[in-house]
Amino acid sequence: MCGILAVLGCVDNSHAKRSRIIELSRRLRHRGPDWSGIHCHEDCYLAHQRLAIVDPTSGDQPLYNEDKTIIVTVNGEIYNHEELRGKLKSHQFRTGSDCEVIAHLYEEYGEDFVDMLDGMFSFVLLDTRDKSFIAARDPIGITPLYMGWGLDGSIWFASEMKALSDDCERFMSFLPGHIYSSKCGALRRWYNPPWYSENIPSAPYDPLVLREAFEKAVVKRLMTDVPFGVLLSGGLDSSLVAAVASRHLAEVKSARQWGSKLHTFCIGLKGSPDLKAAREVADYLGTLHHELHFTVQEGIDAIEEVIYHIETYDVTTVRASTPMFLMSRKIKSLGVKMVLSGEGSDEIFGGYLYFHKAPNKEEFHQETCRKIKALHLYDCLRANKSTSAWGVEARVPFLDKEFINVAMNIDPEWKMVRPDLCRIEKWILRNAFDDDKNPYLPKHILYRQKEQFSDGVGYSWIDGLKDHANEHVSDAMLMNASFIYPENTPTTKEAYYYRTIFERFFPKNAARSTVPGGPSVACSTAKAVEWDAAWSKNPDPSGRAALGVHAAAYDEKVASLPAVNNSSSPNGLPQKKLQEGIVEATATSV
């Protein structure tokens, strides 16, 4: 990941203003410690902090077209850049950077080129020929971007809020899948896939098509000139990423800086569920596995720094970001600059445990759409900023544009949790990789039940956070929370504690407004309560709020299944095979 800062239309274009913008850009240097760049054109400034992943020697930014009339600063990766270069044969490229295509695509196709990009990106492009500019963000919001306005009429864009919050009167999170054009002075959505309208899809489920789409998504994200690895929790999603990446490296016999074996990383409290499961997956795949430990106190000591970097006070995000933040520091110390991670699967396939209560496929699909559209405020924000805090880039194959199109076009009836058919959450994904002849994963890993990251690293982590918050937030403070924080009022002492830290770093109204819905919206959603009122009785936003759905519930489901036989179930798969998968998953649940 890189850090970008663009200030356009300044009244003041003095040397002091340039110095100020350089100073603000330095606040993003953790995102790009490898090099810094700035381009000034009259009253416009484009600054960049680079993390060199592709073409480390010549890809410094800002980037230009041939005559340097078009300047672009980019945070992200364009995976189809070689294909795009083939369409730009009349253009001269100066670097091997994947991002240079953006300047030439604009020159060739105008503002409508953004949909041609396959990758994760946020960028600002200045056309000095008419002093117009555009800014755009990738479809899901994997890369962060903020937009702000100064009192002098200037418009600001930055990868993180900390680079513009002091100098902008108002700012907001730039919407994913949108483009801002100075010519029309407004945001418009450029990403318009069929599923975005929430119309119910009807395509049949083909496990091989789904599997192949995911394998392509993983392989394209191995585009790198630096050492890389996979974040492996031992859950379904990260294990599938590791399995596909490991197979690909074995097939191509690609000798990386670390050799041809895949490196995997996991963090947790000693004895945590994730550490055990990840070790088993790593042993099965034959990866070079790095098991990292932290203590509750080490996590608590890092909380303030974590909130400064992730720029949110959302409870579930803070809980999960802290171990990821600590792990990223260890990963960077080993010389790794890029990792693959499993974010996005639960949103696409309805993997959160409250989806068990979805009353019909229509509501199931609409909720997956809502969750995907909010990813930039939660899991994408966590994965990007927790790793970027230490100059590590996280890539997320489940959020590949083509894979999402395939997965979201499937009739959601196939995604529904159906105990009568032995389908647990994310069954269609598990089934797609359930290959008895050439197994990707052990069956009990393939059917391991969902564990939220902050739970999987060790349940005492959350308990420790709550105890710490209780020591710092009194009953009176929480009772008066609505007067101190009338917007998104914290409802627990833990939420109040995070909010006080956030407010110290980001005291403006605009900052707190970038965190929507309050402290527990990520899991204990209104939709969950609507589907089952029992959810409202547990205010904790972790996976443990899944009343009657977690491991114990499966014991009852398995016990109620008919006797095992070799006949096929209504979905055409052996009943014995599916039932064994659920039994094994139950045995390894925590």
Estimate to the nearest angstrom the gap between the alpha carbon of 163 and the chain centroid: 21
Same domain? For 177 and 202 the reply is: no
* Burial (0-12, 13-18, 19+ Cβ within 10 Å), 359: exposed
Identify the pLDDT of residue 588. 31
Identify the pLDDT of residue 564. 35
Identify the pLDDT of residue 540. 66
- Binding site, by residue number, is 98, 231, 267, 341-342
Residue 579: which pLDDT band, with cuts at 50, 70 and 90?
Answer: very low
The C-alpha atoms of residue 353 and residue 357 are separated, in whole angstroms, by 8
Of 127, 157, 192, which marks where a domain is finished?
Answer: 192
Instruction: Name which of 121-135, 344-358, 550-564 the model is least confident about.
Output: 550-564
User: pLDDT digits over 115-162, tens only?
Assistant: 999 999 999 999 999 999 999 999 999 999 999 999 999 999 999 999
Identify the pLDDT of residue 455. 64
Angle, vertex CA 133, rays to CA 382 and CA 20, nearest 5: 65
Same domain? For 130 and 259 the reply is: no
Identify the pLDDT of residue 475. 98
Comparing C-alpha atoms, which of 4, 3, 22, 28 is closest to residue 308? 28
- Domain boundaries, position 343: 197-588
Same domain? For 144 and 28 the reply is: yes
Same domain? For 347 and 225 the reply is: yes
Reading the block at residue 246, the tokens are 């490991």
Instruction: Name which of 27-41, 53-67, 218-232, 524-538 the model is least confident about.
Output: 524-538
Instruction: Name which of 46-50, 273-277, 423-427, 478-482 the model is least confident about.
Output: 273-277
Of 175, 192, 209, which marks where a domain is finished?
Answer: 192
Same domain? For 231 and 277 the reply is: yes
The C-alpha atoms of residue 222 and residue 240 are separated, in whole angstroms, by 15
Residue 367 belongs to what H/E stretch? Answer: helix 361-373
Identify the pLDDT of residue 261. 85
**Which residues are designated catalytic?**
2
Residue 326 belongs to what H/E stretch? Answer: helix 315-333
pLDDT average, residue stretch 50-70: 91
Identify the pLDDT of residue 247. 94
301 pLDDT above the threshold of 50: yes
420 pLDDT above the threshold of 50: yes
A 10 A CB-CB count for 574 gives 15
Residue 284 · residue 441 · CB < 8 Å: yes
Same domain? For 426 and 562 the reply is: yes
- Binding site for L-glutamine, by residue number, is 98
pLDDT average, residue stretch 71-84: 97
Amino acid at 500: T
589 pLDDT above the threshold of 50: no
Comparing C-alpha atoms, which of 446, 356, 345 is closest to residue 399? 345
> Which percentage of the chain shows pLDDT scores above 70?
87
Identify the pLDDT of residue 65. 95
Same domain? For 549 and 458 the reply is: yes
Same domain? For 117 and 234 the reply is: no
Reading the block at residue 229, the tokens are 């690895």
The residue that leads in pLDDT, 526 or 418, is 418
Q: Measured between alpha carbons, how far is residue 561 from residues 337, 405, 429, 554, 578 in Å? A: 47, 34, 22, 11, 11
Of 174, 192, 210, which marks where a domain is finished?
Answer: 192
Question: Which residues sit opposite 293 in a β-bridge?
Answer: 268
Residue 20 belongs to what H/E stretch? Answer: helix 15-26
555 pLDDT above the threshold of 90: no
Which residue matches tokens 């199109």?
Answer: 405
Residue 549: which pLDDT band, with cuts at 50, 70 and 90?
Answer: low
The number of residues making up the chain comes to 590
For residue 454, the SS3 value is helix
> Which percentage of the chain shows pLDDT scores above 90?
79
Total domain count for the chain?
2
| Domain CATH number, residue 308 | 3.40.50.620
Same domain? For 183 and 201 the reply is: no
Q: Measured between alpha carbons, how far is residue 110 from residues 72, 107, 127, 187, 525 in Å? A: 14, 6, 11, 16, 41
Same domain? For 143 and 101 the reply is: yes
Residue 329 · residue 294 · CB < 8 Å: no
Identify the pLDDT of residue 552. 42
Same domain? For 216 and 182 the reply is: no
User: pLDDT digits over 235-291, tens only?
Assistant: 999 999 999 999 999 887 654 545 678 999 999 999 998 899 999 999 999 999 999
| Domain CATH number, residue 47 | 3.60.20.10
Q: Report the predicted TM-score, pTM, of the whole model to 2 decimal places.
A: 0.90
Return the HEC string of 114-175: HHHCCEEEEEEEEECCCCEEEEEECCCCCCCCEEEECCCCCEEEECCHHHCCCCCCEEEECC
Identify the pLDDT of residue 454. 55
Same domain? For 185 and 269 the reply is: no
Q: Measured between alpha carbons, how far is residue 94 from residues 63, 89, 457 in Å? A: 9, 13, 45
571 pLDDT above the threshold of 70: no
pLDDT average, residue stretch 466-491: 96
